[in-house]
């Protein structure tokens, strides 16, 4: 079930089979996450609210995926990102840069931050 939860703290743990995982203290109690890539995303939300997918099996609840910053479903704002002239490339790859910027916005960056980050990396590889 997708829900908004407040991430208050986290701790590194290891299963009896020596598999690493993390536990997150939330406003709904402790939730575990076994996908370390997702754990790294969730750690960024300590002190904030994140939108996550929670699966419950018996008495255990695990976070399966982090969608980023929590939003009120009744007040979702759609932001159109314009491509600044300096990010347009002659060989038609501007759509690729717009896609990267969109991914950064979904991850919680502002449109201006996303464009600046993508521009910086684009220039670094020219």
Characterize 62-77 residue by residue with b for buried, 16 or more Cβ atoms within 10 angstroms of its Cβ, and e for exposed.
Answer: bbebbebbbeeeeeee
The class of domain 2-73 in CATH terms is: mainly beta
pLDDT at 116: 77
pLDDT at 82: 56
Q: How do residues 77-111 score in pLDDT, each as one tens digit?
A: 445 555 555 544 455 566 676 777 777 777 777 77
CA nearest to 105, candidates 77, 84, 73, 64: 77
Enumerate the domain spans of the chain.
2-73, 78-124
Residue 123 in tokens: 């220039």
Answer yes or no: pTM beyond 0.85.
no
Q: How far is CA 66 from the centre of its chain?
A: 6
pLDDT at 27: 93
């Amino acid at each position: 079930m997708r829900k908004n939860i407040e991430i208050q703290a986290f701790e590194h743990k290891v299963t009896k089979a020596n598999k690493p995982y993390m536990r997150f203290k939330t406003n709904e109690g402790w939730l575990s996450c076994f996908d370390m890539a997702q754990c790294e995303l969730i750690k960024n939300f300590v002190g904030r609210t994140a939108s996550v997918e929670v699966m419950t099996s018996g008495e255990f609840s695990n976070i399966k995926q982090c969608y980023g910053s929590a939003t009120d479903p009744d007040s979702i704002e759609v932001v159109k990102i314009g491509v600044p002239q300096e990010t347009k490339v002659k060989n038609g790859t501007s759509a690729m840069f717009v896609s990267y910027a969109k991914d950064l916005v979904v991850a919680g960056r502002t449109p201006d931050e996303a464009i600046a980050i993508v521009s910086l990396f684009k220039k670094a590889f020219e």
